[in-house]
Structure 1
Amino acid sequence: MADDEIDYNIVFPDAVTSERHWQGTKEPVVVLLGWAGCKDKHLSKYSSIYNEQGCVTIRYTAQLKSVFISESFGFKELSGTALKLLEVLYDYEVENSPVFFHIFSNGGFMLYRYVVELLHSDKQFSSLRVIGAVVDSAPGSANVRGALRALTATLGPRVNPVLWCVLTALFAVTVFLLRVVLYPITKYVHRNHYDAMADHPPPWPQLYLYSGADRVIRHKDVEDMVGTLRRHGVPVESVDFASSAHVSHFRDFPVQYTQRCRDFLVACMASGEESQGRSRRLVQAQ
């Protein structure tokens, strides 16, 4: 692929399935942002939740170097990726459809942060109609131990032990210095994803799926974010699966997980249609 392209997958539903679920309205476009190191075959299992619901789905996972290196050193490389991802909606002429996000772990949430910032500030995307978002196993805040566990899981057992020690040591020192010790200073140059989203959250409804047993993302970080969103007046729901590991809620509770996601999407679509109807009535009355 060319340097200015991103490696994504898009799936369109068949017309019969779409009509059965959405009955004449534009089917939603669901954008799935994978966790660091996520393989597309794994992300496709989640996209099937929405494909079977008659949705268009776009799958994308940010590169490891962007998540673990660029973000750790304060480089906003993912901002450019977010721009290219939103442009995909225009490339396939689905920019007038309702847009729904499904985000996984800090790897997906870091990219989502820049998507939200573009939706807040860039006139090119002001017409996009985001109706909601599901956040799975995120976000975490200043958790060096959890970040190391995520990096270890991503690198896998095949990495040379010496290389593993060097990489994890460098990563731990960098994250601890820049994101913990020096963060009171470095935040003026580059705020972390957690604080940026807590200060300027998106207004659309959100569903947070997490677990008290997660050893990568602390459940308290998720619960604090949910509380912050509520104080901002953002409609937010949360589900603690209690026993499932990091990004394993779907694997351990497939029926409950699928139903939660689908019910939330349907509720967001209904709310979006109601809001759009109110806007049309206001315009007609003027």
Structure 2
Amino acid sequence: MGDTRVDCNVVFPEPHLSERYWRGSKEPVVLLLGWAGCRDRHLSKYSSIYNRKGCVTVRYTAPLRTVFISESFGYKELKSIAHKLLEVLYDYEVESNPVLFHVFSNAGFMLYRYMVELLRSQKQFDSLCVVGAVMDSAPGSQNVPGALRALRTTLGPDVHVLLRYTFLVLFAIMVVLLRVVLYPITKYFHKNHYDALLERPAPWPQMYLYSRADRVIRHADVERMVRVLQERGLSVESFDFIAPAHVSLFRDCPEDYSSRCQTFLENCMSRFEGPLQKKRVQVQH
């Protein structure tokens, strides 16, 4: 079912599954933030990993214009969307349930960045209890060729070839100018998602799943993020699937991928045994 303010899908598990896995405790709520161009039928395959474990899932993919245009120009439309998505948890009365993020590519990571900032700054979200975050093929930093590959794939063959290449050229010029050449200046007005969470990371446990064969997100960017966060003493783990293409980890390695996600969720929940509503991981003010 969808929310009236954001086009998301909320799925509740079968009651017997919640009781089986969480034994009377509040079941986790998993927020799945899709990659650019992702369709809900794609995200539903990932949500089934968690629904089978008795979790509530919320699926959402940001509009293309917010990812490729608004963010590039420094217009924080995604922050408003992030605010509405967090409010969905209150609309469905699951604000006291433990929350796990499952984030895909830079499009999902951009939205996640604003959620972290809102959890840090907005008192109205103090009741939310975040237990962890999974990153799939994210994040990347200032990778213009990778961004162009992602945009070209997202536009698809239905867009006229002349229009497609015109848009790609204009996008490349815009990104290089605003997010690379002028970034030493523009970062004071609009820091990119990678630098923002590198400097002020979320404190909850994180797992980064990626592939060195990814041609959209450089594995070196993911590994740098993992390394820096570990050096800061945060609970961060990672796994390189080596061969799959961008956001194809689950498609190519379904059993391994599902197992890692479920084990990570269980480990995060084990840190919060007891009265979950009284335990909370808060972003530092």
With the length of structure 1 as denominator, give the TM-score of the two structures.
0.94
Q: What pairs up with 1:19-58 in 2 under 5 angstroms?
A: 19-58=19-58
The alignment status of 1:154 with 2:164, answered yes or no, reads no
3-state SS of paired residue (2:95): coil
Shift of residue 275, structure 1, vs aligned partner: 9.5
Q: d(CA) in 2 for partners of 1:126 and 1:150? A: 35
SS at match of 1:272: coil
**Residues 138-169 of structure 1: per-residue CA shift (max 9 Å, x gap):** 00000000000000010011210110111000
SS of 2:272's equivalent? Answer: helix
Q: CA deviation at 1:273?
A: 2.3
The residue type paired with residue 199 of structure 2 is D
Alpha-carbon distance between aligned partners in 2 of 1:272 and 1:233, rounded to the nearest angstrom: 19
Rounded Cα–Cα distance in structure 2 between residues aligned with 1:104 and 1:223: 16
1:13 maps to what in 2?
13
Contact 2:98 2:276 in 1 (8 A): no
The separation in 2 between residues aligned to 1:91 and 1:138, in whole angstroms, is 29
Query: 1:19-168 residue pairs with structure 2 within 5 A?
Result: 19-168=19-168
Aligned AA (2:269): M
Could you tell me how far apart the structure 2 residues matched to 1:244 and 1:11 are?
28
Helix, strand or coil at the partner of 1:31? strand
Residue-by-residue CA offset, 1:223-281 (whole Å, 9 max, x unaligned)? 0000111122210000000000000000000000000000000000001227969969x
SS at match of 2:178: helix
Which residue in the other structure is 2:206 paired with?
Answer: 206
Structure having greater relative contact order (Cα 8 Å, sep ≥ 6): 2
CA distance in 2, matches of 1:273, 1:187: 41
Q: Take 1:173 and 1:228, find their aligned partners in 2: how far apart are those partners?
A: 30
More helix by share: 1
- Report the counterpart of residue 262 of structure 1 in structure 2: 262
Contact 2:97 2:277 (8 Å CA) reproduced: no
Secondary structure of the 2:100 match is: strand
Give the whole-Å Cα distance in 2 for the aligned partners of 1:161 and 1:126. 48
The residue type paired with residue 134 of structure 2 is: V
SS at match of 1:273: coil
* Alignment-derived partner of residue 228 in structure 2: 228
Equivalences for residues 214-253 of structure 1 within 5 A = 214-253=214-253
What's the CA shift string for 1:36-81, capped at 9, x where partnerless? 0000000000000000010000000000000000001111110000
Distance 1:240 1:177 in 2: 32
Identity %: 65
CA distance in 1: counterparts of 2:54 and 2:277, whole angstroms: 23
Rounded to whole Å, the distance in 2 between the matches of 1:105 and 1:7 is 19
| Pairs aligned (count) | 278
Aligned match of 1:192: 192
Note if contact 2:35-2:61 (Cα within 8 Å) is conserved in structure 1: yes
Aligned to 2:283: none
Matched residues in 2 for 1:276 and 1:92: separation?
18
> 1:283 aligns to what?
none
Q: Is the 8 A contact 2:119 2:125 kept in 1?
A: yes
Counterpart Cα distance in 2 of 1:10 and 1:275: 25
Letter in 2 for 1:221: D
2:237 partner SS: strand
* Residues 184-229 of structure 1 deviation map (CA, whole Å, 9 limit, x = unaligned): 0000000000000001100000000000000000000000000111
CA distance in 1, matches of 2:113, 2:75: 14
Cα offset, 1:32, TM superposition: 0.2
Find the counterpart in structure 2 of residue 284 from structure 1: none
Paired letter, 2:116: V
Change (3 A) 1:223 1:81: same
